[in-house]
Structure 1
Amino acid sequence: MRIVNLENDNRKFIKSVDNFHVLEYVQDASVSPMNAIDEYFMSKMNVRRRQVVIDISKDHSAVIQVGSMQWMGGSVKATSGVKGIGDLFGKALKGAVTKESAVKPEYVGEGCLVLEPTYKYIILQDVSKWGAVGMTIEDGMFLACDARVKRNVIARKNASSAVLGGEGLFNMSLQGTGVVALECNVPENELIEVELENDELKIDGNLAVCWSSNLDFTVERTTKTLVGSAVSGEGLVNVYRGTGRVLMSPVAPTSSLFESTNTISAKAAAKNSNTLGK
């Protein structure tokens, strides 16, 4: 099979790690007169559609978030990735505590798999470079990974403070060999990397994108007393202790800025209808 015009003057591959590639719409030509102005200025501000393209082979199958597949070419087929009732129960439990879908489809065979476009930024990470301990990701960021990557659930040490801080009790941990694709609200070159050596990092809010799984992750008060926290004006913070790495965003997540293409198209259609009605 030969694919023609996947990349052109308007669409460019901006990053590749192993068999995972990020396709970015530098200038989106698929616009209507009603949303052309919005699309133009969005492009200038680097708010662009991006897609993950995955090469599927006998050595590289892929696990993706449910509903993320746009099209696939070649002898590629989807499987449930479930290996029995026990495995299904385990996946359902993991999904319930990490806000992720319980069962993620696995695509196997020989060919090409293209995921749905998103306005979020795509971060590709080689899981093996995080060492034997692997990496842990923030809830809701998982998009796809190599099927060789092991996905587990880890819990925070102090559950009570996590609840008070509005954080989840569990996160997805990734280990092994292969690539993972994450959806992020900021571009990868804006992420701040902190390397800890028997030290600690305190973050006000869920700015961390991913971190070494061996780090102790808790939610704590900024000071030892409630009075001290009140005086300082700060409440609870996320604390990472030990030796490892943390990738963090420089700004607070603003998910409302990243609308789906369907939402944008619906707004344009509604605007067009109102204009015609007048």
Structure 2
Amino acid sequence: MHIYNFLDNDDAKTIAEKGPFKVIEWQRDLSVPYLGAQAAYFAAKMDVRRRQLVAQLDGRTGVTLQAGAMQWTAGSIQATTGVKGVGDFFGKALRGSVTGESAIKPEYMGEGTIVCEPTYRHILLMSPQTEMGGTMVVNDGLFMACTSDIRHRAIMVKRPSAMVAGNEGLFNLGLDGAGVVALESPVPASELVAVDLEGDELKVDGNFAIAWSEDLSFSVERSGKSLVGSAVSGEGLVNVYRGHGRVLLSPVASLTPNPNAGTGEV
């Protein structure tokens, strides 16, 4: 099988590659209407471009996608729910209900090409074991895809009472394995701040953490030792990471809305 005018298109640039995944970035958007050409031109100057995740399956390792992420496939590829029985179904349904992720993520096996829906967010390709020291915990709504040898777990936040007051979820999604994970990020990898903790602590006022090592103790606490102290400091509740491990921070909140949400565009 040959696919023309896609990866070999002059406007399609491969900007990242890891495992079976490639991230392509469209350098120009030639499909915009007349009145949108000026906005598209200046958007491209600010590196606001469409990006797509492409997976090349070799018949050995499959990939798991977030529900609704697939745009098209080519080749001998079969899609399954990834559910291995009744117990597995209820386990995934429970994990999805507490992490905010889709309960059933389709798993694709076979040989061929999978292309995901375009996004204006940045796509990060990461290895939990080599880059995060084992299991990586990701913030809500950032998971996009992973190789099928990555295990998914729900990891509970400590101090649930403070967490509820801080508008945080009770559980986060944990990803573990020797494979590759693709995350949607509001910023490119070059802008992420990596903080390696060595028995100390990191306090973050806001939803700025993209991912962190499971070995870290994560909780939501008052910024001061008392309610009065928190009020005086001007900060309320902060996310606190303690121990040994890595935290990846974005300079902007990780739940930045899609600039095209509600417009009918991607």
TM range (shorter): over 0.9
| 265 and 153 in structure 1: CA distance in 2 versus 1, 3 angstrom threshold | closer
Checking the alignment, whether the CA contact within 8 Å between 1:132 and 1:176 is kept in structure 2 is no
Please say if residues 124 and 179 of structure 1, whose CA atoms lie closer than 8 Å, have aligned partners that are also in contact. Answer: yes
Return the offset for 1:206: 1.1
Q: Percent identity?
A: 52
State the superposition RMSD in angstroms. 1.5
Alignment of 1:267-278 (within 5 A): none
**1:19 and 1:55 in contact (8 A); partners too:** yes
In structure 2, the residue corresponding to 1:256 is in which secondary structure?
coil
Q: What's the CA shift string for 1:83-124, capped at 9, x where partnerless?
A: 111110000000000111100000000000000000111011
TM-score by length of 1: 0.92
Matches within 5 A, 1:195-274: 195-253=196-254, 255-256=256-257, 258-260=259-261, 263=263, 265=265
Render the CA deviation track for 1:120-168: whole Å, top value 9, x for unaligned: 1101101221466311000100000000000101001110000000000
Q: Tell me what 1:157 maps to.
A: 158
Cα distance in structure 1, aligned partners of 2:67 and 2:33: 29
Question: Is the Cα contact below 8 Å between 2:132 and 2:212 reproduced in 1?
Answer: no
Q: Residue type matched to 1:227 in 2?
A: V
Q: Does the Cα contact within 8 Å between 2:60 and 2:110 map onto a contact in 1?
A: no
Q: What residue number does 1:271 align with?
A: none
Instruction: Indicate the residue corresponding to 1:147 in structure 2.
Output: 148
Partner of 2:82: 81
CA-to-partner distance for each residue in 1:218-271, whole Å, 9 max, x for gaps? Answer: 0001111111111111110000000000100012346235325x72549xxxxx
Give the structure with higher Rg (CA): 1
Consecutive aligned runs of 4 or more in structure 1 exceeding 6 Å deviation: none
2:113 aligns with 112
* Residue 273 of structure 1: aligned partner: none
**Contact 1:221–1:229 at 8 Å: present in 2 too?**
yes
1-structure distance, mates of 2:187, 2:133: 27
Residue type matched to 2:102 in 1?
S
Q: Which residue of 2 aligns with 1:275?
A: none
What runs of 5+ residues in structure 2 fail to find an aligned partner?
none
Partner residue in 2 for 1:6: 6
Please name the residue that 1:90 is paired with.
91
Name the structure 1 match of 2:52. 51
Give the Cα separation in 2 of the matches to 1:134 and 1:83: 22
Q: Which has the higher helix share?
A: 1
> What one-letter code is carried by the residue in structure 1 that aligns with 2:61?
H
Residues 132 and 175 in structure 1, CA contact (< 8 A), matched pair in contact too: no
Partners of 1:201 and 1:241 within 8 A in 2? yes
Aligned residues: 265
One-letter code of the match for 1:79?
A: T
Contact 1:219/1:239 (8 A) holds in 2: yes
Gaps of 5+ in 1: 267-278
